[in-house]
């Protein structure tokens, strides 16, 4: 969380930084700021979105060829002008931005206060900055040296960019646990939390590693470790087009990303799923098939929407591979001293590949001898890099804060994985294997069918936009989809929503049912169909309003429901890939009806790089 951008070169830094911050706003958007070096340091910052900063800077002196900028997701200190980054040190000689959390900031702050330092903000960032300044003064050393000494004392996660009046031609950066990419141009460098602000200027990038410090000048990039040893930068070519991070005619990224799903699922399956040849080719699995198939158990670790994909995978892997699976919230798993044995397989699911809780959970499981398999969207991200093996979802950059296309990408990868493992293990017949491959292969076309006409969903959104609560119910493979539907609605429209297993509803949520409560059933034709029909009757008997996601042509549910959304018929194991789509659209349209900022819902951030 928090987006950071830096520029050094011939261009005016301010427009490059502001454009970059807009691309990174999905990471946080409660305040924004820039620091420009032009002789001295000029700092402009404002509570609110990047657009508020732009308005605030109209008419101000924005000249400078070196600059750093920040869009914030508050951790220490409420969103406000004074807590916005960049911060200036007590002398005014250093300006810094930071993504992450300094855990031992209180102790360091006390030491600095005792020495007479004063603080304008409540942030841990300002503490680290003045700590660096104090070291620099006491040791009469360079900023770089002071930073290195400071970081040895710091506990926590950071990606920081520093500019200084003492270093007229440099941005100094460091990272541990929060991402940093450096774009290499001709006589210029770009620094950012991810590649999206860089892509239109250069495709040559270096991903900075943990515990590295980068000294970035117009024509020079030096990487060092905390022991002051020079590291060789590994230059990579970005495989991303500018169009992928623009709205492409859609009003919002979320809508664009929902509509991209036929294509992104197709991209995910392409070259891997080969039903005609009866083969699934995934090198991350092929190279480790024995480890995966013989795992005594599999633990899936994830957060948010990715955790819901993990629940679907649990059902699939247990059914197809007969391996016990547990699905864990990464934030719980990392702290509760879980039993992890050598040979256990941990599947980490993450769109961003940077979620702090998931990262740390993996690191500790890895230390205990587990085999780590990453299902990640962001190529080259931290989770992808620390995994022993993995499979990318190839969904392309996801900008809308609420995850949509990354989720269907995750389901596609996990389905192929379960199928491949089950077939190798001999726990599914070849008929079922081929049938499921064909069903999975039909998904992109069926997604297109759902997206062809969304009028019915828009009408339902208009009808229920003023609801105060929503209940989402599902059984079997559709239970995690009920959870995901509720999460999407909460995130996007701020309507309170709960997801529940449909049968479990009798043990609590049924008490909420009255004639004003919309109850959404994910009730496609599957093994549990008759059971869920009974659950619908139970809601109707209590006058709840029933909205169903049903299989095309289901007239029984049409009669029973107040409103209905259809998805094409498909095997129940693959059904989540389709049944989630109307729920994504419903949340989107309800959010729009309620005037919500659907791409940037309040308080959320796309990439949660703090615990």
Cβ proximity to ligand G6P: between 57 and 331 the closer is 331
CA 27 to chain centroid: 9
Site for ligand G6P contains 418 (CB under 6 A): no
Q: Find the shortest distance in angstroms from Cβ 524 to ligand G6P.
A: 23
Q: What is the DSSP string of 224-243?
A: EETTS-EE---EEE----GG
Four-residue CA torsion sign, 554, 558, 560, 561: positive
Distance CA 327, CA 480 (A): 12
Binders of ligand G6P among residues 274 to 333 (CB under 6 A) are 303-306
Residues 6+ apart with CB under 8 A from 513: 471, 519, 539, 542, 543, 544
Cβ proximity to ligand G6P, 16 vs 608, nearer residue: 608
Helices within 280-329 (DSSP H only)? 283-286, 289-293, 304-321
Active-site residue flag, 19: no
Of 100, 76, 104, give the one whose Cα is nearest residue 158.
Answer: 100
On whether the CB atoms of residues 355 and 307 are closer than 8 A, the answer is no
User: In the bound complex, what is the minimum distance in angstroms from residue 611's beta carbon to ligand G6P?
Assistant: 12
Question: Which of 2, 268, 321, 596 is an active site residue?
Answer: 2
Q: Give the C-alpha separation, 268 to 364, whole Å.
A: 29
Structure tokens at 447: 């997604």
Give 351 or 524: the residue with its C-beta nearer to ligand G6P: 351
Return the exposure string of 21-31: e unless at least 16 CB atoms fall within 10 Å of the residue's CB, then b: bbbbbbbbbbb
Nearest CB to ligand G6P, comparing residues 20 and 28: 28
Q: Which tokens hold the place of 520? A: 């959404």
Q: Which is nearer to ligand G6P, 26 or 433 (CB)?
A: 26
> How many chain residues touch ligand G6P (CB under 6 A)?
16
Q: How far apart are CA 569 and CA 538, in angstroms?
A: 25
Of residues 540 through 569, those in contact with ligand G6P by CB under 6 A are none
Write down the catalytic residue from 46, 49, 446, 606: 606
Give dist(CA 316, CA 346) in Å, integer: 16
Is residue 212 within 8 Å of 231, Cβ to Cβ? Answer: yes
Q: Which is nearer to ligand G6P, 90 or 415 (CB)?
A: 415
Cβ pair 77, 121 in contact under 8 A? yes
Give the nearest distance from C-beta 608 to ligand G6P in angstroms. Answer: 5
Residues 180-209 that bind ligand G6P (CB under 6 A): none
Nearer to ligand G6P, 9 or 284 (CB): 284
Detail the DSSP E strand segments found in 259-376: 273-274, 279-280, 298-302, 325-329, 345-350, 371-376
What residues numbered 572-611 form the site for ligand G6P, per CB under 6 A? 604, 606-608
What tokens appear for 484 in the block? 């995901």
Tell me the closest approach of the beta carbon of residue 596 to ligand G6P, in angstroms. Answer: 15
Q: Report, in Å, the least distance between residue 249 CB and ligand G6P.
A: 24
SS3 75: coil
Give min distance, CB of 155 to ligand G6P, in A. 23
Closer residue to ligand G6P, CB minimum distance, 304 or 568? 304
The distance of closest approach from Cβ of residue 60 to ligand G6P in the complex, given in angstroms and rounded to an integer, is: 33
Where in 489-518 is the site for ligand G6P (CB under 6 A)? none
User: Can 606 be counted among the known catalytic residues?
Assistant: yes
Q: Tell me which residues in 358-417 interact with ligand G6P (CB under 6 A).
A: 358, 401-403
Coil vs helix vs strand at 199: coil
Among positions 327-356, residues that touch ligand G6P (CB under 6 A) are 350-352, 355
* Residues 534/502, Cβ–Cβ less than 8 Å: no
Closest-by-Cβ residue to ligand G6P is 304
CB of 179 to ligand G6P, least distance (A): 11
User: Quick one: tokens of 188?
Assistant: 């210029």
Q: Are 563 and 453 in contact (CB under 8 A)?
A: no
Catalytic residues: 2, 606
- Which residues bind to ligand G6P, rule: CB under 6 A? 303-306, 350-352, 355, 358, 401-403, 604, 606-608
């Amino acid at each position: 969380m928090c987006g950071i951008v830096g520029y050094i070169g011939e261009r005016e830094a301010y427009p490059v930084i502001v454009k970059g911050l807009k691309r990174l706003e999905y990471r946080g958007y409660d305040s924004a700021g820039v620091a420009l070096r032009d002789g001295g340091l000029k700092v402009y910052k404002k509570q609110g979105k990047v657009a508020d900063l732009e308005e605030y800077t109209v008419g101000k002196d924005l000249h400078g060829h070196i600059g750093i900028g920040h869009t914030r997701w508050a951790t220490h200190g409420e969103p406000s002008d004074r807590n916005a980054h960049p911060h200036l040190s007590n002398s005014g000689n250093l300006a810094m931005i930071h993504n992450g959390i300094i855990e031992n900031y209180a102790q360091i702050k006390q030491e600095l206060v005792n020495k007479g330092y004063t603080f304008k903000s409540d942030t841990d960032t300002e503490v680290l900055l003045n700590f660096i300044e104090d070291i620099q003064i006491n040791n009469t050393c360079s900023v770089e040296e002071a930073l290195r000494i400071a970081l040895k004392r710091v506990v926590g996660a950071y990606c920081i960019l520093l500019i200084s009046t003492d270093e007229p031609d440099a941005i100094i950066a460091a990272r541990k646990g929060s991402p940093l990419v450096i774009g290499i141009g001709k006589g210029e460098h770009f620094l950012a939390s991810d590649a999206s602000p860089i892509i239109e200027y250069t495709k040559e990038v270096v991903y900075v590693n943990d515990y590295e410090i980068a000294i970035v000048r117009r024509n020079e990039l030096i990487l060092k470790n905390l022991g002051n040893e020079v590291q060789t930068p590994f230059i990579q070519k970005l495989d991303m087009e500018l169009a992928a991070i623009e709205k492409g005619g859609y009003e919002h990224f979320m809508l664009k990303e929902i509509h991209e799903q036929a294509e992104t699922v197709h991209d995910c399956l392409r070259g891997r799923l080969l039903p005609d040849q009866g083969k699934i080719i995934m090198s991350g699995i092929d190279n480790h098939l024995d480890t995966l198939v013989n795992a005594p158990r599999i633990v899936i670790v994830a957060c948010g929407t990715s955790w819901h994909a993990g629940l679907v995978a649990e059902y699939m892997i247990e059914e197809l591979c007969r391996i016990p699976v547990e699905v864990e919230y990464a934030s719980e798993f990392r702290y509760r001293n879980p039993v992890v044995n050598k040979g256990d397989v941990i599947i980490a699911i993450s769109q961003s590949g940077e979620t702090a809780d998931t990262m740390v959970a993996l690191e500790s499981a890895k230390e205990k001898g587990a085999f780590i398999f990453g299902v990640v969207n962001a190529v080259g991200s931290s989770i992808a890099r620390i995994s022993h093996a993995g499979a990318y979802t190839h969904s392309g950059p996801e900008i809308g804060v609420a995850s949509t296309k990354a989720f269907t990408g995750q389901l596609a990868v996990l389905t192929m994985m379960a199928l491949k493992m089950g077939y190798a293990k001999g726990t599914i017949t070849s008929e079922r294997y081929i049938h499921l491959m064909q069903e999975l292969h039909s998904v992109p076309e069926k997604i297109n069918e759902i997206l062809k006409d969304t009028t019915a969903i828009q009408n339902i959104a208009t009808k229920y936009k003023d609801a105060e609560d929503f209940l989402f119910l599902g059984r079997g493979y559709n239970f995690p989809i009920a959870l995901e539907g509720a999460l999407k609605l909460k995130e996007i429209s701020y309507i309170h929503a709960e997801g529940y297993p449909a049968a479990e509803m009798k043990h609590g949520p049924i008490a909420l049912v009255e004639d004003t409560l919309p109850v959404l059933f994910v009730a496609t034709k599957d093994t549990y169909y008759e059971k869920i029909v009974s659950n619908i009757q139970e809601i109707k008997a209590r006058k709840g309003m029933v909205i169903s996601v049903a299989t095309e042509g289901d007239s029984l549910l049409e009669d029973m429901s107040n409103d209905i959304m259809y998805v094409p018929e498909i095997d129940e194991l693959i059904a989540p890939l389709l049944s989630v789509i109307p729920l994504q659209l419903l949340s989107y349209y309800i959010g729009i009806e309620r005037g919500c900022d659907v791409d940037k819902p309040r308080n959320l951030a796309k990439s949660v790089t703090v615990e």
